[in-house]
């Protein structure tokens, strides 16, 4: 029970990696508070995960939502030991698409702005809200979700890759700024992971993902959750400013 009575926040905790992370921390004795924009999924998740998991409806892109959530958690538990900034969205599209010498499509400004607001600004909002409380209590752990594509790039994901690369940069900055307060900041970079998003993908695409992964399979959400658990634990007490790839050995190509 390495997280016994620790207060752990997980954004985007209603499904996928966030849900698996909430479960993993709860198994280790943590008091887990998840947030998500999907209230129905959030309520379903807490029924499944048990009484030690609490749900709030929060849009991480909204500073007001985030601050209210964090303040409420502090009022309820009097501390925040760990936050896992997992919430994220996809709105894929090429920068531009040309056909027969003509521009036929491009990533929309709305899709670019939306992904930036959730995946990048959302992480900033949450870290900025919890950091003062962590400083006052003498320490804490901030864990950020990036991706292997934030390191390697990926076709058709200008907006998503920009956010995931930005998260890696922010992680390094915050590790430097907050280390003197006993706050560790790290990131986890999953590879291809078997979440709900893949359900709609053709089997041929999924087989291609497996073929490009040296270990020959997709990651499971629990694989990523285990990485977050390790980085949050005392076993990782001298690790900060790092990005841990949990990807089965893949290097994303063109």
pLDDT digit string, tens, across residues 61-115: 999 999 999 999 999 999 999 999 999 999 999 999 999 999 999 999 999 999 9
3-class secondary-structure state, position 118: helix
- The answer to whether residue 254 scores a pLDDT higher than 80 is no
Contacts 24+ apart (CB under 8 A), 104-108: 107/158, 107/159
Q: Structure tokens of 227?
A: 């990485």
Residue 160 designated active-site: yes
- Give percent of the chain above pLDDT 70: 99
The pLDDT value recorded for residue 196 is 80
The pLDDT value recorded for residue 151 is 93
Q: Please identify which residue in the block is written with the tokens 């900025």.
A: 128
Catalytic residue among 77, 133, 160, 181: 160
pLDDT-based confidence at residue 206 (cuts at 50, 70, 90): confident
Q: What is the 3-state secondary structure (H, E, C) of 48-107?
A: HHCCCEEEEECCCCCHHHHHHHHHHHHHHHCCCCEEEECCCCCCCECCEEEECCEEEEEC
Q: In angstroms, rounded to a whole number, what is the distance separating the alpha carbons of residues 2 and 32?
A: 14
CATH homologous superfamily for the domain 7-246: NAD(P)-binding Rossmann-like Domain (3.40.50.720)
Q: Please identify which residue in the block is written with the tokens 């399979």.
A: 217
- The answer to whether residue 34 scores a pLDDT higher than 70 is yes
pLDDT-based confidence at residue 194 (cuts at 50, 70, 90): confident
* pLDDT (average), residues 220-224: 97
- The answer to whether residue 205 scores a pLDDT higher than 90 is no
Which of 41-50, 129-138, 172-181 bottoms out in mean pLDDT, i.e. has the lowest? 41-50
Helix 121-137 to helix 63-77 angle, to the nearest 10 degrees?
Answer: 30
Q: Structure tokens of 24?
A: 């993993």
* pLDDT (average), residues 194-211: 81
């Amino acid at each position: 029970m390495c997280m016994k009575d620790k207060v752990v926040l997980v954004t985007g905790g209603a499904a996928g990696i966030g849900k698996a992370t909430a479960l993993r921390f709860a198994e280790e004795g943590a008091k887990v508070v998840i947030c998500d924009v999907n209230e129905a999924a959030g309520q379903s998740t807490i029924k499944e995960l048990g009484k030690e998991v609490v749900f709030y409806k929060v849009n991480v892109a909204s500073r007001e939502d985030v601050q209210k959530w964090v303040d409420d958690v502090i009022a309820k538990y009097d501390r925040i030991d760990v936050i896992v900034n997992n919430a994220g969205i996809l709105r894929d599209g090429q920068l531009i698409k040309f056909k027969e010498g003509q521009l036929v499509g491009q990533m929309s400004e709305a899709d670019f702005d939306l992904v930036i607001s959730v995946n990048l600004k959302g992480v900033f909002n949450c870290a900025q809200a919890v950091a003062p409380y962590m400083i006052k209590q003498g320490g804490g752990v901030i864990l950020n979700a990036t991706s292997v594509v934030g390191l390697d790039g990926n076709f058709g994901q200008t907006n998503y890759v920009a956010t995931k690369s930005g998260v890696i940069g922010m992680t390094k900055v915050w590790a430097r700024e907050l280390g003197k307060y006993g706050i560790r900041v790290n990131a986890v970079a999953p590879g291809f992971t078997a979440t709900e998003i893949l359900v709609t993908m053709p089997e041929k695409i999924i087989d291609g993902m497996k073929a490009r992964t040296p270990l020959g399979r997709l990651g499971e959400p629990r694989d990523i959750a285990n990485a977050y658990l390790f980085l949050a634990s005392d076993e990782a007490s001298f690790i900060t400013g790092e990005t841990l790839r949990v990807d089965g050995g893949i290097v994303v190509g063109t």
